[in-house]
Amino acid sequence: MSQGSDKNVLDKNFKLMGISAIILLVLFLYTLYKSSDYIQSGSYYFGIVFLLLLLSFAVFARFKQDKIQNFINKNKTDKNSFSNELSTVKENRQEELSSNITAVNSNITFKDVAGISETKGELEEIVDFLNEPGKYLKHGIKLPKGVLLVGPPGVGKTLIARAVAGEADVPFFYQSGASFVQIYVGMGAKKVRELFMEAKRNAPAIVFIDEIDAIGKKRGGKTNDERESTLNELLTQMDGFDGDSGVIVIAATNKIEVLDEALLRAGRFDRRVFINLPNIDDRKKILELYLNSKHYEFDLDRLAHETSGFSSAALATLINEALLNMIKREAKILESQDIEIAKNKLEFGKKDTLVLSENQKDILAIYQASKAFITKSKVSLFDEGVKKIDSIYPSYNDLRENIKRYLSGSIGVEVIKKEKYAINSDDLNKAYELAKKIVEEYKMAKDANVLIEDISNDLRSLLSHNATDINRLKNIMLKNEVINSDDI
């Protein structure tokens, strides 16, 4: 309809142009005829030529009207298309810039999360504070502003945070660290401000930032990019509310070593909860939870023993895959064959260090038992790192003791197995780094390699004389997948 209307308007314009040219031409010719004796200028003749050209163009345009109309319509369409695209871009940008931060009410509680007895104990007081803040505030007690959940992927950090919100029955604001990394400068910081404003408005509430290392990495000081401005805003917001504000910030990471020191100082994430891979008792509880109300006929204790290195997420996937295979068999009871098929699917592509054979598990148990014997502290089968002596002014013996703790696992395996094994290169690297620091920075020794060899020989002698205790601790580790201080 619009094209028809445009065509009619164009047709009328051409007709009007032609009629106007004819009338003006007649008037010019009449004037020239009546006043030819007095006309000395060539302007009249120029006017006649112009009007003849105008009349010719009007006639030409009238015959080519359809082509001209198509050309005009095409330009108009392109212009409208460009305008629509520009409008779409603006709408998309506005949509990206809007935060849409909303809270959710979690229906998950601690009873829905198995194998977190130690973690649960540390988080229960936060739940109690959110439920009954007056009990703490009347004594001037302020809870930590931030709780950092640290652990490998799949151990249930997000689920635990949701369980805290569910137990306390408070709004739960979930954001991933990556969601703050915006393509527009300053928008990440804006989103952080809006998140905390919304949390304060809905207090008591929990703010959960998953994978905080996406924005919380150590600052280099050379640039001021979007990530760093977002981190600065997060630090400012955490400084901006008190422990009695009713807002608790929980964050999760599996890379605590890359986080900026400002995030970890007192007054921000000043409580850290380390969540390890579940031990054998934890795995049994997790499997019981996932198999609740399911009919199964297999040895649950054996399955818990055979799934060393599985995270809670991996166990959930294992049971789900087994149930899918049961349905494929058109059966109603979950059997060991379903579990074996599911295990084969999961173990394919997994790291050998997580899915262990009996021999691999025995080696790792000796490694961790040796660390427990030397450090006299609790050690789990899949613990990473070593408990060190931390001192502002370490003595030479303190530094040697830390090197001994780094080397204890590999030397213990060498002593018990009568052969060297490549197990944890990270511990060895840290031992050599500390030895170099003793030589180059502290000037307490002359040669790092000689120092390492000297400490290794002392360890071999000590662990050889206590091989019986190491084997006893190894058996405890194989049975419980954890050695407590009382076992040493």
The reported pLDDT for the residue numbered 15 is: 63
Q: Does the residue 198 lie in any domain? A: yes
Please tell me whether residues 121 and 241 are part of one structural domain: yes
CA distances to 216, 368, 399, 457, 480 from 453, rounded to whole Å, are 39, 21, 15, 6, 33
Which of 32, 65, 97 delimits the end of a domain? 97
C-alpha–C-alpha distance, residues 473 and 376, integer Å: 11
Please tell me whether residues 112 and 247 are part of one structural domain: yes
Please tell me whether residues 322 and 290 are part of one structural domain: yes
Which of 258, 274, 290 delimits the end of a domain? 274
Please tell me whether residues 111 and 194 are part of one structural domain: yes
CA distances to 184, 296, 411 from 225, rounded to whole Å, are 11, 55, 46
Helix (H), strand (E), coil (C) string for the chain: CHHHHHHHHHHHHHHHHHHHHHHHHHHHHHHHHHCCCCCCCCHHHHHHHHHHHHHHHHHHHHHCHHHHHHHHHHHHHHHHHHHHHHHHHHHHHHHHHCCCCCCEECCCCHHHCCCCHHHHHHHHHHHHHHHCHHHHHCCCCCCCCEEEEECCCCCCHHHHHHHHHHHHCCEEEEEEHHHHCCCCCCHHHHHHHHHHHHHHHCCCEEEEEECCHHHHECCCCCCCCHHHHHHHHHHHHHHCCCCCCCEEEEEEECCHHHECHHHHCCCCCCEEEECCCCCHHHHHHHHHHHCCCCCEECCHHHHHHHCCCCCHHHHHHHHHHHHHHHHHCCCCCEEHHHHHHHHHHHHCCCCCCCCCCHHHHHHHHHHHHHHHHHHCCCEECCCCCCCCCCCCCCCHHHHHHHHHHHHHHHHHHHHHHCCCCCCCHHHHHHHHHHHHHHHHCCCCCCCHHHHHHHHHHHHHHHHHHCHHHHHHHHHHHHHHCEECHHHC
The reported pLDDT for the residue numbered 117 is: 76
Of 272, 267, 291, nearest in space to 212 by CA: 272
The reported pLDDT for the residue numbered 242 is: 57
CA atoms within a 13 Å half-sphere pointing along the CA-CB vector of 55: 14
Please tell me whether residues 252 and 112 are part of one structural domain: yes
The reported pLDDT for the residue numbered 30 is: 59
Place of tokens 């392109």: 78
Which two tokens mark 231?
């981190």
Contact status, residue 206 vs residue 149, Cβ threshold 8 Å: no
Which two tokens mark 365?
């148990």
Query: Is the peptide bond between 204 and the residue preceding it cis, with omega within 30 degrees of 0?
Result: yes
Please tell me whether residues 116 and 225 are part of one structural domain: yes
Please tell me whether residues 182 and 223 are part of one structural domain: yes
Please tell me whether residues 86 and 113 are part of one structural domain: no
Q: Does the residue 353 lie in any domain? A: no
Please tell me whether residues 203 and 301 are part of one structural domain: no
The reported pLDDT for the residue numbered 127 is: 85
Cα radius of gyration (the chain): 39
Considering its fold, how many domains does the chain have in total?
Answer: 4
C-alpha–C-alpha distance, residues 7 and 3, integer Å: 6
Residue type, 397: N
Q: Does the residue 176 lie in any domain? A: yes
Q: Which residues pair with 217 in a beta bridge?
A: 259
- CB contact set of 143 (below 8 Å; sequence gap of 6+): 125, 126, 129, 136, 243, 248
Please tell me whether residues 270 and 285 are part of one structural domain: no
Of 381, 311, 318, 347, nearest in space to 159 by CA: 311
Of 406, 444, 409, 439, nearest in space to 423 by CA: 409
Supply φ then ψ for residue 146, to 5 degrees.
Answer: -135, 140
Place of tokens 């307490």: 444
The reported pLDDT for the residue numbered 309 is: 80
Q: Does the residue 199 lie in any domain? A: yes
Q: Does the residue 329 lie in any domain? A: yes
Which of 97, 131, 160 delimits the end of a domain? 97
Q: Does the residue 352 lie in any domain? A: no
C-alpha–C-alpha distance, residues 130 and 143, integer Å: 10
| Digitized pLDDT (tens) for each residue of the chain, 488 residues in all | 444 555 555 566 656 666 666 666 666 565 655 555 544 555 555 656 666 666 666 666 556 656 655 666 665 555 555 555 555 545 554 444 445 678 777 888 888 888 777 777 778 888 888 888 778 878 877 777 788 999 888 888 888 888 888 888 888 888 887 777 654 456 778 888 888 888 888 888 888 998 888 888 887 655 556 677 888 888 888 876 655 567 888 999 988 888 888 888 877 887 888 888 888 888 899 999 999 889 999 999 989 888 888 888 889 889 999 999 999 988 999 999 999 888 877 765 444 435 677 888 899 999 999 999 999 988 888 887 788 887 778 899 999 999 999 999 999 999 999 999 988 888 999 999 999 999 999 899 899 999 999 999 999 999 999 999 999 999 999 988 888 888 88
C-alpha–C-alpha distance, residues 248 and 242, integer Å: 10
| Residue 256's CATH number | 3.40.50.300
Longest pairwise C-alpha distance within the chain = 139
Please tell me whether residues 153 and 243 are part of one structural domain: yes
| Residue 459's CATH number | 1.20.58.760
Please tell me whether residues 306 and 371 are part of one structural domain: no
Identify the domain containing residue 10 by its residue range.
2-97
- Whole-structure pTM value: 0.65
| Residue 294's CATH number | 1.10.8.60
